[in-house]
Amino acid sequence: MKHSQHIQLHVDSIFFDELRQLPWHIPITEWNAYGVQTLDIKRGISRHVVIFVKTGRFSFAIKEISEEISKKEIDNYERLLLMGIHTLIPAGYVVREEEPVAVRTPIGVHYEENRISHTVTLLVEKVLPDSLLYSRNFRKENRQKIWDAIVRLFVQLHSNGVYWGDASLANTLVRFEKQEVPFVGKRTTLMAYLSDAETVEIHSELSQSMREADVNFFLESMDWINEDLNASGILRDKLATEEDKQYILESYTMLYNTERKKKAFERLTSLSIDKFLGSVPNPSYVDLFIKHIEEHRWYMGERLTRPLSLPEAARNWYETVFAPVCEIFRRKGVINFFPGKTAAELYIEIMTHKYYLSEKQGYDVGMAAAAKDYLARFVGAEYKSAIKQITKKISTYFGSHKKTSSV
């Protein structure tokens, strides 16, 4: 075999020194014989040749593909990362120019370029590839955590105008990550990563039909992965149940609608729900936040005898109502009674409980009484002392802030 000397490295300068040392003049399937440290990592099912290597300071995933697709894929990864979307970190692409290929035609032999390209991405650590992950017999609630992570990725993509195009389990990686949750602290969450950007299209926004096509294609992939696993001799329960698919569809619809309302909320109030309040799963919660801020706006306008803009009212509501209540939840360990909930969810649920109690009693019962009744109902009598301390703290705070609080 003739070794071509025509190697072009289109890679980030951070990774250049490591990548230029690799033997790009030979097929990547033969690198082991040339002393390259390849990594034995469980991988997903792929239609391309993929290897993992360790060189110098970094570990890389290298995929053999056409030059045109390599360019597009690296560009897509870069654009996705700028949007804050969970995807692979691109190192660049490397092209090897082989001897031209002779092609016989009716008018004679002509020669075509023979260029082989490699998409190079930084290896994501501690991920669970589909072939390993979905071969396990998970309990229903754990399977749903995987679907939740994938649905969040879909919503993140679609709300930013990104059409995946080849949405499948084989093109998704999941890993556990620690994330900072407002008024809760670090919480371990299962995150999904887009791991193949060949077919990604980025638009100003997506039509409903494009979104539905993307999700439906993914649901079909659940059947394909099941067939691939069976063909690989891995015996397991069926992955693509109708219940799983229905759960994904319903979760996607709910979360996408929530995301749209969150963006509208941010435009109106200049407050980011995820950053300041904590993520919420239901679009009705966003409506309730707006309602509470509007009520606070009216209240503050009466107190100050002047109108307030919605962003001004939102900031004041956050500083004098929401944040103090959630800080009490955090300090007193209320969140520990409700694993998985954010402070924002708990705040909304107690405020909703306050509304119904007030309707029943015929007067505003106040935040402290609502919190006491809510916790007594859902936490249990054995925490009576803790509930008393929590409600006392809330009552004390709002009792000393009567002139600045709408609660």
pLDDT at 2: 44
One-letter amino acid of 340: G
Distance CA 318, CA 314 (A): 6
pLDDT in tens, the chain (407 residues): 344 458 999 999 999 999 999 999 999 999 998 889 998 876 555 667 999 999 999 999 999 999 999 999 999 999 999 999 999 999 999 999 887 666 677 776 666 677 899 999 999 887 765 555 665 566 777 788 889 999 999 999 999 999 999 999 889 998 989 989 999 888 889 999 999 999 999 999 999 999 999 999 999 988 876 666 666 665 456 666 889 999 999 999 999 999 999 999 999 999 999 999 998 989 999 999 999 999 999 999 998 889 999 999 999 999 999 999 999 888 888 888 888 889 899 999 999 999 999 999 999 898 888 888 998 888 876 677 878 888 888 888 776 655 555 66
pLDDT at 388: 83
pLDDT at 45: 57
Residues 285-309 have pLDDT tens digits of: 999 999 999 999 999 999 888 999 9
Q: Angle formed by the axes of helices 242-269 and 208-231, to 10°?
A: 140
pLDDT at 1: 39
SS3 of 179, please? strand
Instruction: Tell me the H-state helices in 11-117.
Output: 13-20, 67-82
**267 contacts: CB under 8 Å, gap ≥ 6:** none
Longest Cα pair distance anywhere in the chain, in angstroms? 95
pLDDT at 95: 95
Select from 205, 202, 175, 180 the least CA-distant residue to 190: 175
pLDDT at 61: 95
Per the CB < 8 A criterion, the answer to whether 383 and 297 are in contact is no
Bridge pairing between strands 50-55 and 58-65: antiparallel
SS3 of 345, please? helix
pLDDT at 4: 45
Report field, pTM of the whole predicted structure over 0.85: yes
The single-letter DSSP state of residue 238 is -
Distance CA 168, CA 158 (A): 15
